[in-house]
Amino acid sequence: MATAYITTAGRCIIRGDVDATSIRSLDRQAQSPTLGEVRSGQSISREAALRLIRCPDGELPNLLAAAREAKERFKPGVITYSRKVFIPLTNLCRDYCGYCTFRRDPGDPGAHTMTSEEVLAVARAGEKLGCTEALFSLGDKPELLFPEMRETLRFLGYKSTLHYLEAMCELVLRKTSLLPHPNPGLLSAEWVARLAAVSPSMGLMLETTNASLLAPGAAHDNAPDKVPARRLKTIEEAGKQNVPFTTGLLIGIGESLQDRVDTLLAIRDLHERYSHIQEVIVQNFRVKPTIPMAHWPEPSQGDMLRTVAVARLLLPNVNIQAPPNLSAPYYEELVDAGINDWGGISPLTPDFINPEMPWPHLEQLRLRTESKGSTLRQRLPIYPEYVSRITVKHGLLSEKLRAASSGDGLARRAA
Ligand code: SF4
């Protein structure tokens, strides 16, 4: 079954479920040459992507049907998620992104750098709840801006936040069954290699290739680590080192539809060269009262569905993820647009990036996934098709990954 969309003024209104045959028949009636191109299973051109992302409401069902078919060719019948704990190692950050509620300056209420005891306590609590991922999220190089962070690191016994992160990944790997997945911001070649030794995969959101968002008053004003070329360099470095990598785009932060397509194309280009992009996240901006962008409009659900669908068609053989909590209450519609993964869901820790938007209960997620004709399966932070890149090696990381993964590369523990 799939959902039929009747749309008005750019907003989707769900009118009920129709079977896939009806959608295909609808598509045949109004099939565009662009969507015909898609049926071959080939990734689409920039021109086609631009036409599709701008498609009028009347053509949205056709776009969604094509994207869903592409997903079923890639990963039939299954939607995955990663059961995780979220470890906000430090929320101090030298950047000031206009949409961020996570970051703090030293002395701000809630400013905190976790101790190793706190890290281990969260990881162990997650282990008891069947989690298999320790997602390390943190601000980018806060010690470059704040003497207080330099003092904290001196007290903890580390030269930099990245040295501390490396040690905490290693600690979790050694003392628990969880697999670390760090998201530390920009990385040099040396740091990609060092973190790859203690985590099977890592991530950095490209967000956008539009450098004009660094201008005064824009989303990335005063965010030196958000220079697109520098982020592309980190992602490329991971490719050169064969490191399974998660990236993605953030939509609704001032970029154009063309920018979204170009961001996806930049990711596709790197993946074609290095075959290392294990996952592309399509994240939608959500407004919050305390952020500098408190009065910006949020992208509509129709906007989100078009972007996800175009991501699927541009990257037919890459895992596409969208966070369900940011599209609640109708997040299951994202399945119609071709996602094959819900991302990290925690039964223990909140989404520290969007704390006001709780993750769905896993049972709810399972039911909503099944309502769309798919089975929910628990994956590891590294996707199945990349597991052998790590398990062929020797050492603790390889041993831990072998112990955590089932024969099909998903989590050994059942969903
Ligand atoms: S989004 Fe990341 S880089 Fe930007 S301010 Fe927040 S923590 Fe820092």
Tell me the three-class secondary structure of 99-114, residue by residue. CCCCCECCCCCCCCEC
pLDDT tens column, 120-167: 999 999 999 999 999 999 999 999 999 999 999 999 999 999 999 999
What is the distance in A from the centroid of ligand 1 to the CA of 369? 31
Does 81 contact ligand 1 (Cβ within 6 A)? Answer: no
Q: How many CA atoms lie within 13 A of 302 on its CB side?
A: 20
Contact status, residue 35 vs residue 70, Cβ threshold 8 Å: no
What is the distance in A from the centroid of ligand 1 to the CA of 101? 8
Contact status, residue 281 vs residue 270, Cβ threshold 8 Å: no
pLDDT tens column, 157-168: 999 999 999 999
Q: Which atom of ligand 1 is nearest to the CA of 139?
A: 7
Does 102 contact ligand 1 (Cβ within 6 A)? Answer: yes
Reported as a pLDDT band with limits 50, 70 and 90, residue 263 is: very high
CA dihedral angle for residue 168, residue 169, residue 171, residue 173, rounded to 10 degrees: 170
Does 207 contact ligand 1 (Cβ within 6 A)? Answer: no
pLDDT tens column, 227-262: 999 999 999 999 999 999 999 999 999 999 999 999
User: Is the pLDDT higher at 15 or at 47?
Assistant: 47
Count Cβ atoms below 10 Å from residue 391 Cβ, excluding itself.
17
pLDDT tens column, 275-331: 999 999 999 999 999 999 999 999 999 999 999 999 999 999 999 999 999 999 989
What is the distance in A from the centroid of ligand 1 to the CA of 118? 22
The dihedral of CA 221, 227, 228, 231: what is its sign? Answer: negative
Tokens of 264: 């996806």
Q: Which atom of ligand 1 is nearest to the CA of 138?
A: 7
Q: Which residue has the tokens 């925690």?
A: 346
Coil/strand/helix, residue 52? helix
Instruction: Say what the pLDDT of residue 310 is.
Output: 98
What is the distance in A from the centroid of ligand 1 to the CA of 21? 44
Residue nearest to atom 7 of ligand 1 (CA): 139
Residue nearest to atom 4 of ligand 1 (CA): 97
Model's pTM, two decimal places? Answer: 0.91
Average pLDDT estimate for 219-223: 97
User: Could you please report the per-residue DSSP string of 176-243?
Assistant: SS-EEEEE-S---HHHHHHHHTS-S-EE---B-S-GGGGSTTSTTTT-GGG-HHHHHHHHHHHHHTT-
Does 100 contact ligand 1 (Cβ within 6 A)? Answer: yes
Dist CA 207 CA 166 (whole Å): 24
Does 139 contact ligand 1 (Cβ within 6 A)? Answer: yes
What is the distance in A from the centroid of ligand 1 to the CA of 5? 35
Does 97 contact ligand 1 (Cβ within 6 A)? Answer: yes
Count Cβ atoms below 10 Å from residue 356 Cβ, excluding itself.
11
What is the distance in A from the centroid of ligand 1 to the CA of 257? 23
Residue nearest to atom 2 of ligand 1 (CA): 139
What is the distance in A from the centroid of ligand 1 to the CA of 122? 22
Does 259 contact ligand 1 (Cβ within 6 A)? Answer: no
Instruction: Say what the pLDDT of residue 348 is.
Output: 85
What is the distance in A from the centroid of ligand 1 to the CA of 193? 23
